[in-house]
Structure 1
Amino acid sequence: MAASVVSRSSSSFDTFAYRSRPKVTIELAGQKDGLVNSYTTGDCIEGSVTVTAEHDTRFDEIEITFEGTSKTSVERATMPGRTGAYQTFLRLRQPLEPSAYPTPCVLEAGRAYEFPFTFVVPERLLPHACSHKKTNIHVERAHTLLPPSLGDPMLASNGKTLLDDLSPTMSCIAYLIHASVLRKPASATPAKSLASAGKKVRVIPMVDEEPPLNITDNEDGYCIRKEKNVKRGAMRSKLGRLVVKASQPKPVQLSPPDSATSDSVSSAATIHLRFDPVSDDEQPPRLGTVWSRLRVSTFYSAEPWGDFPSLVCPIVWAHMGRGSYTETVPLSTMCVALAQWTKHSPATSTTGSLGRCDSLQSTSSDESLAGPTACFAGGVYYTASVVVPITLPKSKAFVPTFHSCLVSRIYALDLTVSYHTPNANILTPSASLRVPIQLTCRPRAATLPKPTEVEITQQEVDAEFFTPRTVTSSTTVPESELFLVGRRQPQFQQPPEYSVIPAPNVPVLQTNMSPRV
């Protein structure tokens, strides 16, 4: 009878406790009102979870996790509707000692229970986060790097100013701290969540520079070299042929989140031009204006990418459950009318090729210059170079270049050069290029390796450099030189973890060895 009363009381207690859910709040260290906490690789995410209940509530476990998720949505091409994918690529769990829980595990009414947590933003993901099939051996390394937060305007900056991160609504990468109050039933069914809460954080990981892309002149999606005929007018004779070429510039290094540095986020691209006239008397065209624009492309898919996405065949992707979204951001407009052409005759070009190169000039620097055109006959030609600064506007939020299983982000630089011919044209002729460019994120200054400092006293300096030394033919080292000899010889120090292992006894090599019996 008593057992039935206890059972009935316990059942009614559980029902009543389930109806009055506990309240879970998450507080982050350094949290400011109206701002979103931002982190990068190696940062510690510290805070606490506070649980309160209006009535006594039984529980079994408090689960605190740091999660990273990716979500995509793609319009179907064959039938109306959408398809998508959801992936939890990161899940770090905060271990809690049994002593952190009250005894018994009951949340008393009106009492606050605080559980601290600490997470470290990792540099890489575990291998099982990218277990799909791949057609490129380098995909797994790229997919196991931590992707940045993407697709949430509140997380594009510090949360105080809404900035556009140039991503579509069909893709989203989010990080959050999640806390749950779990109750495990008596049966083998999964644990039930009595209450839960989540707090979003912004993560911009540290990204190193990758090797430049190997792009040919006829590469689809990019154009690093272009040739055009230069005419006196629309219906007039040809003056010559113009070549415009540019290589992949150095990456733009983004500052880490909440960085106090005032350095401008910029890089530079160099446009090399060459003009091959039809005759030695023809002069090169006068340059006009250079426009630069940043092309931002986001790729998303309902299935994991087996290879790196490219800018080709975006229409075919709709039948494969994939999509892309591209926006163009204007960067700069600069007048280059004062740019000077350098004349090269066959004699100077021959002697110049035999001359010595600067020690700071790479042996492959000629590859970045605009080569001769197909109609070049070996006569006079002209060359010029224009340096285009690349500075990202502060009105947009940019993330580093990355590739993940479902979402990727790449950047390209559009460069357009206009020129003027001797006779005025209705439309100003121009030549356009599209070169790839990377966006990286440098680490915090506190995480950079510091050089080891060795303090040397003045006595050691005097003993090392100003003490007279005796030169003798004897093999015996004087006692006065023992200190100097010891200082000159490099000393090998074992790592601390190997200090407990005794050094092996090395046998002495004998000159006269008797045969073993």
Structure 2
Amino acid sequence: MSSRSWSKGHASTAVESVQKHITPKVNMDICIDNHYQSKIYTTFSSVSGHVKVHASYDVPFDKVQILLLGTSRTRVDAINIPQATSHTFLKLLMPVPESHYPETRCFQAGTTYTIPFNFVIPQYLTLNACSHRIPNDALKDAHLRLPPSIGDWGKDDFTPHMSRITYSVRARIYQKDADGKSAKAVEASYDIKVIPIVAEDAPLNITEQDKLYIMSKRKTLRKSILSPKMGKLTVSANQPAPVMISSDGHSTTPTTAQVDLVFEPTSNESQPPKVVGITSKATAVTYYSAAGINQYPNLKDWARSYGADGRGAYSSSVALPTMPVENVSWKLHVTEQGRRDSGYGFELQSDSEHSASGRYSVDSRTRNSKTTPFSYAMQVQVPVQLPTDKKQFVPTFHSCISSRVYVLWMTVTLSALVGTSSVVTLGVPLQIGVGSRGGGRVDATGLPTFEAAMEDAALEVDAYLQPRTLCMPDIEFCSRLPGYSERIGSRAAQPV
């Protein structure tokens, strides 16, 4: 497969001669209503406008075709020759009524013809968009989602030159060739930027085989190289809630990641280290392939599994604001072994219950134990705010030949009592989604979304199934009826 040269998508006119001795001069301009250069389209957005056709002399034609195309392109630098792949995942055809055609099927010289069009960005792709073999149904569903535009943004979007996803409105004029077949003669194209709505996905199940992420680390601490061990420190984190991009792509909602630290001292005199600070950065990883990808590329070992299969990966990072650790201290926890060894009367006494500098005394039965009956724990909340003013973030996606994922790297700096310091770095998945308009309650057409309708229905069902309480009413709401004795007495009192 030979390499191809790619150019930026802007309004241009490509003229091809159907017959070598005829070179028709036809100008085609694509005009999109209410469009501007930085405009971003999302799910259910309307892309409407018209195509202007102006010929310098009479040009006969067979038909006019207007399309909305979504195309993914990758280039892998192989050993012998670069492999360039193009995949058209979206193809919407706008029917052109016969009333907009000239009656003679000929564009008259000096006359400008206007052909309208109207497209709506779909929520999902058709099944034909992903035709290669995929053993995972979840990945198949991911491939049938609309991917965002990557590459050719005004700001850096972490995308290499080896991967591009573009959306364009194209107009084509077909003519009859010498054999009577319809062939493309003139084509014009105009690129637009698309960021589809992406809902929150379930957290990933990270295992030791997933080499991209480091969810936990265990480290032995010493005051110096020759000093005995102070204890073992375990630093771990879970996947934070996703960062949601606005539908216009200009702002993001912050999220928070939690870092858990557990220090297990080797002796009763060992004190936990001081957490000086936590620095973080976001890394965007773009995967690209010359053939269809049949598993999640960010899971398992991408380099080892597909190193010789015409595939590659590119990563780029951006630093996030540094967060000093304040108003957070170590907390003492008694282990189960400490409770068993010391019995019910075991107690830890401290000058400061939640301070790492407090001196703890233990029962004499556990003082000479090989393992200490207590440990220290700390939880640190790390805020995550992506710098949208400098970078263009697109949502996490997986398509047939391109994928984009994000990793949140957090580096914890620790300081021992004598001034030595050490660092521990974790890398957790960071999902980026796109929020819907109307706070997720309505779509672009103003109608309630499926999720909103189901939520309202659930509330109505819950209200209907609420348990009822039966009780005696208050005395003022009770009507007193005469009893049997009272009715007999009233009858006896009546005169005969």
Q: What is the one-letter code of the residue matched to 1:247?
A: N
Q: How many angstroms does 1:347 deviate by?
A: 8.6
Distance 1:105 1:470 in 2: 89
Q: Helix, strand or coil: the match of 2:320? A: strand
- Match of residue 54 from structure 2: 52
Q: How many angstroms does 1:136 deviate by?
A: 2.2
Q: Please give the per-residue CA displacement for 1:344-374, whole angstroms capped at 9, x wherever unaligned.
A: 23599979xxxxxxxxxxxxxxxxxxxxxxx
Change (3 A) 1:284 1:470: closer
2:159 is equivalent to residue 167 of structure 1: yes
Question: Of residues 18, 27, 32 in structure 1, which corresponds to 2:31?
Answer: 27
- Match of residue 228 from structure 2: 237
Q: Helix, strand or coil: the match of 2:66? A: strand
- Match of residue 110 from structure 1: 110
Q: How many angstroms does 1:318 deviate by?
A: 4.0
Q: Helix, strand or coil: the match of 1:245? A: strand
Alignment of 1:1-12 (within 5 A): none
Superposed CA RMSD in Å reads 3.0
- Match of residue 297 from structure 1: 285
Q: How many angstroms does 1:115 deviate by?
A: 0.7
Q: What is the one-letter code of the residue matched to 1:432?
A: T
Q: What is the one-letter code of the residue matched to 1:296?
A: A
Distance 2:316 2:20 in 1: 54
Change (3 A) 1:236 1:75: same
2:171 is equivalent to residue 176 of structure 1: no
Q: What is the one-letter code of the residue matched to 1:56?
A: D
Q: Helix, strand or coil: the match of 1:138? A: helix
Alignment of 1:130-279 (within 5 A): 130-152=130-152, 156=153, 162-185=154-177, 187=179, 189=181, 191-216=182-207, 219-257=210-248, 264-279=252-267
Q: What is the one-letter code of the residue matched to 2:43?
A: T
Q: Please give the per-residue CA displacement for 1:8-31, whole angstroms capped at 9, x wherever unaligned.
A: xxxxxx979942321100000112
Distance 1:215 1:316 in 2: 17
Q: What is the one-letter code of the residue matched to 2:416?
A: T
Change (3 A) 1:258 1:245: closer
2:376 is equivalent to residue 382 of structure 1: yes
Change (3 A) 1:68 1:313: closer
Change (3 A) 1:308 1:377: same
Change (3 A) 1:218 1:19: closer
Q: Please give the per-residue CA displacement for 1:54-112, whole angstroms capped at 9, x wherever unaligned.
A: 11111121110000111111011xx3321121111111000011112121112111111
Alignment of 1:269-348 (within 5 A): 269-310=257-298, 312-314=301-303, 317-336=306-325, 338-346=327-335
- Match of residue 423 from structure 2: 430
Q: Helix, strand or coil: the match of 2:201? A: coil
Q: Which runs of 5+ in 2 are unaligned?
A: 1-17, 341-368, 457-476, 480-496
Question: Of residues 385, 392, 397 in structure 1, which corresponds to 2:386?
Answer: 392
Distance 1:313 1:347 in 2: 41
Q: Helix, strand or coil: the match of 1:415? A: strand
Q: What is the one-letter code of the residue matched to 1:301?
A: S
Q: Please give the per-residue CA displacement for 1:380-430, whole angstroms capped at 9, x wherever unaligned.
A: 1111111111111121111100000000001111111011111122xx201
Q: What is the one-letter code of the residue matched to 1:126?
A: T
Change (3 A) 1:249 1:376: farther
- Match of residue 480 from structure 1: none
- Match of residue 457 from structure 1: none
Answer yes or no: is the 8 Å Cα contact 1:17–1:55 preserved in 2.
Answer: no
TM-score norm. by structure 1 comes to: 0.73
Q: Helix, strand or coil: the match of 2:321? A: strand
Q: What is the one-letter code of the residue matched to 1:379?
A: P
Change (3 A) 1:108 1:268: same
Answer yes or no: is the 8 Å Cα contact 1:204–1:256 preserved in 2.
Answer: yes
Distance 1:65 1:310 in 2: 34
Distance 2:208 2:177 in 1: 66
- Match of residue 3 from structure 2: none
Answer yes or no: is the 8 Å Cα contact 1:21–1:194 preserved in 2.
Answer: no
Distance 1:349 1:98 in 2: 87
- Match of residue 126 from structure 1: 126
**Quick check: 191-200 or 330-339, which moved more?**
330-339
Change (3 A) 1:216 1:195: closer
2:400 is equivalent to residue 405 of structure 1: yes
Distance 1:83 1:302 in 2: 6
Q: Helix, strand or coil: the match of 1:109? A: coil
Number of corresponding residues: 405
- Match of residue 456 from structure 1: none
- Match of residue 93 from structure 1: 93
Change (3 A) 1:253 1:217: same
Distance 1:301 1:415 in 2: 29
Q: How many angstroms does 1:180 deviate by?
A: 1.1
Q: Helix, strand or coil: the match of 2:132? A: coil
Change (3 A) 1:346 1:258: closer
Q: Which runs of 5+ in 1 are unaligned?
A: 1-13, 157-161, 352-374, 454-468, 472-517
